[in-house]
Amino acid sequence: MRTLKYICLLFFVGSIQSCANTNSVKDKSPIGFDLQHPVRYPMPDALLEISGITFHPGDTERIYAIQDEEGALFYLRPNDKKAQKFKFGKKGDYEDLAITDERVIVLRSDGTLFSFPLNEIRHNEIQQLQEWAGLVPKGEYEGLFADQSSGQLFLLCKTCKSGKGNSNLSGYVLDMNKNGQIKVKEHFSIETDKIATLAGHMKINFRPSALALNPLTNEWYILSSVNKLLIIADKNWKVKEVYPLDADTFNQPEGIAFDQKGNLYISNEGDKIQNGNVLRFVYHKE
């Protein structure tokens, strides 16, 4: 009887510790940020389904965004009630964007890239649109990032076929020259087993929705809307930290970006109840 009581006591204590650990993990944030207290910017109706955000290098005042139905570039200051719009293509499932070397690059979910000079938005007419299809294997792609220092593009697959027994995430490094020509340079992968371990799961079907490089730490911040997770990896894609995201704050996190000061921005798609939004997490030096 004493043995049974002892086992029950251990189970009770273990349950309390498990709940406490779960809560403590949920409340944690990456060094320098507080994921529980963002500055919230509601987006106009046109960006209800905002799917990607970025900044122009040197300009931290204006957010550039796309949404996943219309072939248009939107741009606005965070508190603006209305976004300006520049149409570049047909309707489609557009997932992310980047700006580098005065060019805008937009990612469609099938891995196709579209590129045009940023200054064309001044004339409100597309003249030099380039389309790059078939650069990467078939799959569903949602993450695109442009590294200003190297001029390279990083493309991350959300759902791609992998080799037998290989569940790692696939990604591609692309080079873009001054004329906007794009070619694949190399492939990289991210260990999903490490994500599962750090998230406290036996196995995880990780589906990334966006990525960005922290300019202050050179770490990759990888976002997953499906899994409600924020992953931090080193420059070589080795997973270091995993942070669960509170669904009350992060309705549908689809876009991520940093400004030059190291402040973190995450965009959320809206729904029938709430507008899309952009959350700003101010960087605090420890």
Cα of 283 vs its chain's centroid, Å: 18
The pLDDT, as a whole number, for residue 272 is: 85
Instruction: Note the pLDDT tens digit of each residue in 151-203.
Output: 899 999 998 865 444 567 889 999 988 777 899 999 999 999 999 999 998 88
Residue 101 has pLDDT above 70, yes or no: yes
pLDDT over threshold 90, residue 111: yes
Per-residue pLDDT, 93: 95
What is d(CA 29, CA 31) in angstroms, rounded to the nearest whole number? 6
Please check whether residue 143 is in contact with residue 113, taking contact to mean a CB–CB distance below 8 angstroms: no
Residue 162: per-residue pLDDT = 57
Rounded to an integer, what distance in angstroms lies between the CA atom of residue 149 and that of residue 154?
A: 13
Give pLDDT, residue 166. 53
Q: pLDDT digit string (tens) for 9-52? A: 433 334 333 333 333 345 689 999 999 999 999 999 999 999 99
Which CATH code is given to the segment(s) 33-281? 2.120.10.30
Local confidence band at 77 (pLDDT 50, 70, 90 cut-offs):
very high
Is residue 45 within 8 Å of residue 33, measured between CB atoms?
no
For 86-98, what is the mean pLDDT? 96
As a three-state string, the secondary structure of 81-136 is CCCEEEECCCCCCEEEEEEECCEEEEEECCCCEEEEEHHHHHCCCCCCCEEECCCC
What pLDDT sits at residue 180? 76
**154 to each of 98, 189, 246, 261, how far by Cα in Å?**
10, 12, 27, 22
DSSP state of 46: G
Q: Chain-wide mean pLDDT for the chain?
A: 88
> Does the pLDDT value for residue 4 go beyond 90?
no
Output the pTM of the full model: 0.88
pLDDT in tens, 229-274: 999 999 999 999 999 999 999 999 999 999 999 999 999 999 988 9
The predicted pLDDT at position 161 comes to 65
Please tell me what DSSP assigns to residue 256.
Answer: E
Angle at 166 between CA 164 and CA 167, to 5 degrees: 125
- Contact residues for 57 (Cβ-Cβ < 8 A; gap 6+): 99, 100, 148, 260
For the cut 80, the answer to whether the pLDDT of residue 121 exceeds it is yes
CA distance 233 to 217: 11
What is the mean pLDDT of the segment spanning 113-130? 92
Contact between residue 188 and residue 171 where contact means Cβ atoms under 8 Å apart: yes
Which percentage of the chain shows pLDDT scores above 90?
74
Q: Which residues pair with 56 in a beta bridge?
A: 59
pLDDT at 69 over 70: yes
**DSSP β-ladder status, 220-224 and 210-213:** antiparallel
The SS3 of residue 141 is strand
CB under 8 Å to 244, separation ≥6 — which residues?
25, 26, 199, 228, 229
Give the up-direction half-sphere exposure of residue 124: CA atoms within 13 A in the CB hemisphere: 2
